[in-house]
Amino acid sequence: MLSVTPSPAVAGAARPLSGRIALVTGSTGGIGLAVAEALAAQGCDLILHGLAEPGEAAPILRELAGRQGIAVRYQAAELAEPRAIAEMMARAGRVDILVNNAAIRHFGPIEEMAPEDWDMDLAVNLSAAFHLIRLSLPGMRQRGWGRIINMSSIYGLVGGTDRVGYVTTKTALIGLTRAVALETAQTEITCNAICAGTTLTPNIDARIQALMAMHGLDRAAATARFMDGKNPSGRIVEASAIGAMAAFLCGEAGRDITGTAWPVDGGWSAA
């Protein structure tokens, strides 16, 4: 486990989530890191998670701790393995805010999908969230406060082709969210899902660059082609907007918001 302590000069600032600890899975880049950034800006200490070696994650931890004045730890764990999840949670200790963000996806029609790829989608995208919630809730109940955010997707709200594992697991995450919300409704614990449309992440950027190279397009044209049939706004969602939504749900204003699926998709789910 890698840990970086905050700068005393910044750490003293009073912020709404000061004293809270958040575990964000899949948070060394993309949406997960944007969520971690938004929570850190509210004073929340962080446990980042990923598959990178601690040395690779160290610069991210140092930058976050130095700029936001919060304590940051890093846990590497394979979320497809329940034992690895349990070991990570034992090392993590207290978790006030759990953000189930880590996900994988396999592309192709269902008849061509390898059974092992289906099993991996279920394990990482869905079962890991179940295990992390199961292991986090007792402590949240004991402390009388908690926030759980499941990162679903636009594909949790609408169907799509050539990604059956992703559509299935992201849809199921919304059901998990509702079930947990009702089981914790009379507590200070909430559980919500965020359903992002096409969001600017390193993965999406790489796919746009591939279109540019393959078809000789400039970035604007490649982005327009990639966005065809996606966010009706025509804009790619900024990851920081997903982070801001997560921070809102974790704050005092989110106290009575639970069991919901929040689309941040440029109107895609309204089409």
Q: Which residues have a catalytic role annotated?
A: 166
What is the C-alpha to C-alpha distance for residues 112 and 34, in angstroms, rounded to an integer?
34
- Exposure pattern of 181-205 as b/e (b: 16+ CB <10 Å)? beebeeeebbbbbbbbbbbbbeebe
Retrieve residue 113's tokens. Answer: 């999908």
E-strand spans in 37-112? 45-50, 72-76, 97-100
Q: Is 166 exposed, middle or buried (0-12, 13-18, 19+ CB in 10 A)?
A: buried
CA-wise closest residue to 41 among 70, 12, 20, 21: 70
What is the C-alpha to C-alpha distance for residues 177 and 262, in angstroms, rounded to an integer?
11
CA-wise closest residue to 60 among 70, 44, 72, 42: 72
What is the C-alpha to C-alpha distance for residues 262 and 80, in angstroms, rounded to an integer?
26
- From residue 244, how far is each of 2, 72, 141, 240, 247 by CA, in Å? 26, 19, 25, 6, 5
User: DSSP code of 99?
Assistant: E
Place of tokens 């327009």: 224
What is the C-alpha to C-alpha distance for residues 244 and 33, in angstroms, rounded to an integer?
12
